[in-house]
Structure 1
Amino acid sequence: MEAGIEPEDIGQNQEYAGRLEYHGDKKKDCTLKITDLRERDSATYTFRFITDQTRGRYYGDPGVTLTVTGLQVKVTGGHQDKTLTCSTTCTLTDNPTYIWYKNGHKVKEDTSSLDSDSFSDTDSYSCAVKGHEDLHSPAVYGPRNTSVSVSPSGEIVEGSSVTLTCSSDANPPVQSYTWWYKKNGGEHQSMTGPQHVFNQIQSSDTGEYYCVSQNEMGTDRSRTMNMDVKCE
């Protein structure tokens, strides 16, 4: 164990609630069964026993490392000719049949790859292996619920520090954020990054702002925010 680091008691962790079964005899056997296994259960596990002696706390070092893998949809190709591939590091039987789902509904039985030139930014896609339909991959989908927030909130006064943040729900994660803005009726201009910081905002920064998020599946635009900077 790493010096000074107390391992977590998984029996007290709600993530494991109802999923732990102790099969040991508390003498020579410390067998533990974890049911309904999840990828986030991947960790190094050790047993611990405590005696009534001073400093009588011992760990089964180095423990057992558990790696949990599952199906994953990988996205390749361009915006108009994407390919979705259902992959796993698990060993499967020869030539398994894959089942593809769109928005949770079965759409096709196919090989591990799904080709289409009509994927929608607003739809989600997942896969499973035939015979194990209850074990879906996490869904992949284009950005959604893209929004702009301002910190601090409230009235914006010239000379203050203001941060604009663009956020979005997406899987795979957002690759890029692009801001578009038009100050005082001028032309639209762009800048990149999930945040834009005005260290000393000016009245000339008054204008319309929105952001566009993008991942391998598509793009999504936030609503336009009208920012009004007050003179001191």
Structure 2
Amino acid sequence: VFSNGRTELVGNITQKNCSLKIDPLRQSDQGPFYFRIELGGYNHLLCDLLVTGAPQPTVSVKEEVVKGQNVSASCSVSHSCPSSPPEFTWTHSGEKRFQTQQLTDGQWKATSVLTFKATKADHNKPLSCTVRYKGGLVQTSQHHEELIVCFCADAPVNVKVDYKSHVKEGETVQLTCSSEANPPAKSYLWKNEAGARLHQGQSYKLINVSRHTGALYCTAINTVGKRRSSPVQLNVSFKPDPCNIHKNSLYYNNDFTWFLFEQERCRISIFS
């Protein structure tokens, strides 16, 4: 039937294995076939070959995992050529392990097991695999599995304060604290650099801002722990205060007297 070298007897007759390999397999190769063995006479066996399309691989993975936990995902597909098993490619990096299992009716099950450590970036990220057969045919898993990564063991992270950095003295400033946490932060606490408590709540309204307002920070708290933001320092613009005149600090320039006080230069008119 095959005159172009597409067939090969790959079985071991001494072990009663007379398996025939057809490579590459074509749609026109559909059976039936007769197998005959001649050993002082002959017997024959009818074999019906049904050529179908390659099956799509299936992915199996535990959908809900905890951050930092090892995830084990498997991708399986059936095939009919154990000497040339399909190659697997995953959309996620990790340690890969190949397994094979003989089924019935001349079929084998090939499985690729992927192991990796779950991270925050894996949350709701699709996970799929692609199978490439020896003849070049490629099949990708139809259903993408999405991991749900739980951060239940984490204190708040990325705690930051949103605010208007440049303000004028006497103005009111609204500061808002945010964080990433699961479960979400249940409270926010505001303190100054000395550790004195200023306010409790996600938003803090600082009234009548002064040039002397020091740095402050926000602490996000959930049921697991707490974490504080970087110090926040407002840039306050203000008008110079009336100067206290000291005789030793005066110097003269035309019609005005200038003097320095606390690194500020003030001027007053000269009255004769």
Same fold (TM over 0.5): no
What TM-score results when the alignment is normalised by the length of structure 1? 0.39
Structure having the higher Rg: 2
